[in-house]
């Protein structure tokens, strides 16, 4: 920075952001006219901010330098805060050497006004509290419905279930140190303690519109659920709160009541009722559908204890399986290529201890084995000797995998070695690798694929079919396939002919993907389709600050997050509205599954026929119409359509009616 005028002092706060890798170290330097005026010691994230004051008398050119110290780390973020140059009569903010471009400036402006509402609040009080349906997105430009102002917070749940409730505080005056206190939930002599209500702050922030986009192409969304703390709410802004009631397994049926007290410092408190109806039955375990997420284990097994809370969190949100990068590992040794499944064994032991079970895709390691042998499965296929050597190595690995599968009958190990096999020049290689696996193992083979309707896809599926048993479809591509005139019934017929099983991975590709859509995929989407498992990308994969989607690489720098450890308190998880929607969709499927079980058990009765007719009407309402989908712009036309058909009251009506049918069929009325 070229200084215009004479200044006496440079002043700033320096430090390493808390969201950096804990082992990060940074050096900070102030240089003037090419000379070093100040150099810090290596700072780490836990050192906190350090105040720097440097004499710059006579300096014409000022340079601030930050560099990482020691071993390279995935994320090291050094910060200069409140940098100013000062003289006796003035302070001047140090501007960057390059001016901020208008798109970037607009991005920061959107974030700065994310919590500001644009209408008059119909009250003369310092603030008002508005009950909100958690599925519905908050729009600061839209006044809240008048009947929701001061309305009770309500929830309906079964024993053992978790159920959300939401409210929004709209401030007319500055509110300081706002605290939220929830009392015990009571009905008669029965009590659900206040500690069973998890209170979170909903953070509104920028999220990239598409995961590959630069940060300037971002939209403000209500995404992260920050662990509770008292906050200030400035006049003219709002703050949404997300409550999750954890209903005990042994909770008695009945209508429980509590109060939620919102207390700003120095202002009158406001109380709103919280009413929870606990239903007189339990949801049955799901057998026809399953859920999981892509998940990364730490590279060092000594770090695995740190993820046990994350595994419990996935189980608590309905997950029974994971897609992890484990499987057969190959190493070159003095006697040749050796296969090992020990790391996978350790992972299975950990997953089993946390209650995971069922299907589990695992790597065959074929690609690594081919590289170690310098064997190209396509180009060298006709080299009989090279192919025989490759087949022998794969046979060793797959036999070890098959023996491991017998040791862990809780899991079905599904060999896989290539993602999205219909990509350019991938299918031939996939087939050659799978031929080697098929010769050595009877385990079912798993793939991911796009069935986007384009030339050649049908032919590729026909060619691929003998070499796959479990097809995991891209959800966005599946919507496009339906929009092109196909149907879930057609898919079911194709799967029956082939004997294959179908899964789906419906990823959150950007800001357009609403939390409500995650609920729809886990619930209605899986219910009306032959898709058995939903396993999306990714529990978390972040760059730097996990709640800042703009600080990663310019392209493909999006933070994929369902839930993520708090960098300042790693044993505490920061959830998202999408992650809670994941659980709610899982619960929707459990309500439907429980009702279907009771219909089967009461088959032929008048009540069972009436309940089935109700389900049939719901299914007909959900059945996608390709002609109507063609009129929907953008991605995910099925989810867009359903999101317009259903709002907060509709979801509650669905749950209530499903519960009423279960009670009538089971005779479980209190």
How many residues in the chain?
670
> How do residues 506-525 score in pLDDT, each as one tens digit?
999 999 999 999 999 999 99
**Alpha-carbon torsion (532, 538, 540, 546), positive or negative:** negative
Higher-pLDDT residue of 72 and 387 is 387
Show the domain range for 540: 290-577
Confirm whether 1 is domain-assigned. Answer: no
Strand order of the sheet with strand 50-55?
50-55, 9-16, 78-87, 90-93
- Rounded mean pLDDT, 132-150: 95
Confirm whether 598 is domain-assigned. Answer: no
Claim to verify: residue 90 and residue 142 sit in the same structural domain = no
Claim to verify: residue 258 and residue 295 sit in the same structural domain = no
pLDDT at 509: 97
Q: Which residues pair with 277 in a beta bridge?
A: 156, 255
The DSSP H or E segment spanning 245 is strand 238-246
> How do residues 606-646 score in pLDDT, each as one tens digit?
999 999 999 999 999 999 999 999 999 999 999 999 999 99
Confirm whether 167 is domain-assigned. Answer: yes
pLDDT at 95 over 70: no
Tokens coding 63: 């340079």
pLDDT at 532 over 90: yes
Claim to verify: residue 180 and residue 215 sit in the same structural domain = yes
**Alpha-carbon torsion (252, 253, 257, 262), positive or negative:** positive
335: pLDDT confidence band, cut at 50, 70 and 90? confident
Q: Which of 520, 542, 577 is the last residue of a domain?
A: 577
Ranges of H-type helices in 317-423? 342-353, 366-373, 384-407
Higher-pLDDT residue of 354 and 112 is 354
> How do residues 201-229 score in pLDDT, each as one tens digit?
999 999 999 999 999 999 999 999 999 99
Rounded CA-CA distance 605/54 in Å is 86
Claim to verify: residue 424 and residue 563 sit in the same structural domain = yes
pLDDT at 17: 83
Q: Determine how many CB atoms are found less than 10 A away from the CB of residue 53.
A: 10
pLDDT at 2: 87
pLDDT at 72 over 90: no
pLDDT at 228: 97
Rounded CA-CA distance 293/538 in Å is 6
Q: Which of 528, 549, 577 is the last residue of a domain?
A: 577
Give the pTM. Answer: 0.89
pLDDT at 668: 81
Rounded CA-CA distance 178/263 in Å is 5
Of the ranges 26-30, 78-82, 279-283, 371-375, which one carries the lowest mean pLDDT score? Answer: 78-82
Claim to verify: residue 416 and residue 555 sit in the same structural domain = yes
96: pLDDT confidence band, cut at 50, 70 and 90? low
- Rounded mean pLDDT, 439-445: 97
pLDDT at 524: 99
Q: Which of 461, 595, 589, 440 is nearest to 523 (CA)?
A: 589
pLDDT at 375: 97
Alpha-carbon distances, residue 223 vs 204, 305, 555 (angstroms): 6, 28, 21
Rounded CA-CA distance 363/367 in Å is 10
What average pLDDT is seen over the chain?
95
- Percent of the chain with pLDDT strictly greater than 70: 97
> How do residues 278-310 score in pLDDT, each as one tens digit?
999 999 999 999 999 999 999 999 999 999 999
Claim to verify: residue 74 and residue 188 sit in the same structural domain = no
20: pLDDT confidence band, cut at 50, 70 and 90? confident
Confirm whether 326 is domain-assigned. Answer: yes
Listed as own residue / partner, the contacts of 378-385 with beta carbons closer than 8 Å and 24 or more positions apart are: 378/428, 378/429, 378/432, 381/432
Claim to verify: residue 440 and residue 532 sit in the same structural domain = yes
Higher-pLDDT residue of 203 and 424 is 203
CATH number of the domain bearing residue 174: 2.60.40.10
Confirm whether 299 is domain-assigned. Answer: yes
Confirm whether 610 is domain-assigned. Answer: no
Claim to verify: residue 264 and residue 308 sit in the same structural domain = no
94: pLDDT confidence band, cut at 50, 70 and 90? low
pLDDT at 81: 87
pLDDT at 210: 98
> How do residues 30-71 score in pLDDT, each as one tens digit?
999 999 999 999 999 889 899 999 999 999 999 999 998 887
| Cβ–Cβ under 8 Å, residues 257 and 185 | yes
Claim to verify: residue 187 and residue 318 sit in the same structural domain = no
- Percent of the chain with pLDDT strictly greater than 90: 88
Claim to verify: residue 245 and residue 308 sit in the same structural domain = no
pLDDT at 22: 78
Q: How many domains does the chain have?
A: 3
Q: Which of 513, 542, 577 is the last residue of a domain?
A: 577
Claim to verify: residue 79 and residue 163 sit in the same structural domain = no
**Residues contacting 435, CB < 8 A, separation 6+:** 467
Confirm whether 15 is domain-assigned. Answer: yes
Q: Which of 136, 194, 122, 196 is nearest to 167 (CA)?
A: 136
Claim to verify: residue 515 and residue 547 sit in the same structural domain = yes
Confirm whether 148 is domain-assigned. Answer: yes
- Rounded mean pLDDT, 558-564: 98
């Amino acid at each position: 920075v070229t200084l215009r005028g004479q200044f006496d002092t440079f002043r700033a706060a320096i430090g390493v952001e808390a969201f950096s890798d804990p082992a990060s170290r940074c050096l900070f330097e102030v240089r003037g006219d090419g000379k070093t005026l100040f150099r810090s010691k290596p700072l780490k994230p836990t050192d906190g901010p350090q105040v720097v004051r440097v004499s710059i008398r006579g300096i014409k050119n000022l340079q601030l330098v930050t560099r990482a110290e020691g071993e390279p780390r995935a994320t090291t973020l050094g910060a200069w805060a409140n940098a100013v140059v000062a003289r006796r009569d003035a302070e001047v903010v140090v501007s960057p050497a390059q001016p901020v471009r208008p798109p970037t400036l607009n991005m920061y402006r959107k974030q700065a006004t994310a919590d500001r509402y644009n209408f008059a609040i119909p009250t003369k009080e310092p603030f008002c509290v508005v009950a909100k349906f958690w599925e519905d997105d908050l729009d600061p430009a839209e006044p809240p419905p008048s009947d929701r102002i001061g309305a009770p917070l309500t929830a309906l749940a079964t024993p053992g279930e978790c159920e959300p409730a939401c409210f929004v505080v709209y401030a007319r005056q500055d509110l300081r140190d706002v605290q939220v206190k929830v009392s015990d939930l009571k009905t008669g002599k029965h009590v659900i303690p206040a500690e069973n209500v998890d209170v979170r702050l909903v953070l509104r922030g920028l999220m990239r519109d598409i995961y590959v986009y630069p940060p300037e192409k971002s939209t403000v969304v209500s995404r992260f659920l920050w662990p509770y703390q008292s906050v200030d709410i400035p006049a003219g802004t709002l703050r949404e709160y997300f409550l999750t009631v954890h209903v005990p397994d042994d909770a008695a049926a009945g209508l429980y009541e509590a109060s939620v007290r919102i207390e700003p410092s120095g202002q009158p408190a406001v109380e709103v009722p919280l009413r929870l109806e606990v239903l007189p039955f339990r949801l049955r375990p799901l057998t026809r559908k399953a859920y999981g997420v892509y998940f990364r284990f730490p590279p060092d097994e000594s770090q695995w204890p740190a993820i046990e809370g994350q595994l419990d969190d996935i189980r608590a949100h309905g997950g029974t399986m994971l897609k992890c990068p484990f499987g057969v590992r190959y190493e070159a040794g003095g006697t040749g290529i050796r296969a090992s499944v020990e790391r996978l064994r350790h992972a299975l032991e950990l997953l089993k201890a946390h209650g995971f079970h069922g299907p589990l895709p695992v790597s065959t390691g074929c690609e690594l084995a081919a590289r170690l042998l310098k064997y190209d499965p396509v180009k060298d296929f006709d080299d009989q000797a090279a192919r025989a050597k490759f087949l022998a190595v794969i046979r060793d690995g797959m036999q070890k995998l098959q023996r491991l599968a017998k040791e862990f009958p809780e899991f079905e190990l599904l060999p896989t070695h290539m993602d999205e096999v219909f990509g350019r020049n991938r299918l031939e290689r996939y087939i050659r690798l799978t031929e080697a696996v098929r010769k050595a193992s009877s385990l079912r083979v798993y793939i991911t694929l796009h069935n986007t309707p384009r030339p050649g896809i049908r032919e590729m599926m026909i060619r691929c079919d003998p070499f796959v048993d479990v097809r995991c479809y891209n959800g966005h591509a599946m919507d496009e396939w339906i929009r092109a005139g196909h149907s879930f019934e057609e898919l079911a017929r194709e799967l029956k002919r082939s004997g294959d099983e179908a899964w789906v991975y419906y990823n959150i590709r950007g800001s357009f993907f609403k939390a409500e859509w995650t609920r729809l995929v886990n619930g209605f989407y899986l219910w009306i389709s032959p898709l058995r498992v939903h396993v999306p990308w990714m529990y978390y994969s972040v760059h730097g600050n996990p709640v800042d989607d703009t600080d990663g690489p310019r392209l493909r720098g999006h933070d994929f997050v369902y839930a993520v450890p708090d960098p300042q308190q790693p044993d505490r998880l920061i959830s998202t509205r999408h992650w809670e929607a994941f659980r709610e969709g899982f619960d929707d499927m459990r309500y439907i599954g429980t009702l279907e079980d009771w219909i089967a058990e009461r088959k032929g009765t008048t009540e069972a026929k009436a309940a089935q007719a109700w389900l049939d009407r719901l299914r007909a309402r959900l059945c996608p119409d390709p002609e109507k989908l063609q009129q929907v712009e953008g991605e995910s036309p099925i989810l867009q359509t359903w999101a317009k058909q259903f709002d907060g009251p509709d979801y509650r009506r669905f749950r209530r009616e499903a519960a009423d049918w279960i009670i009538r069929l089971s005779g479980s009325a209190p």
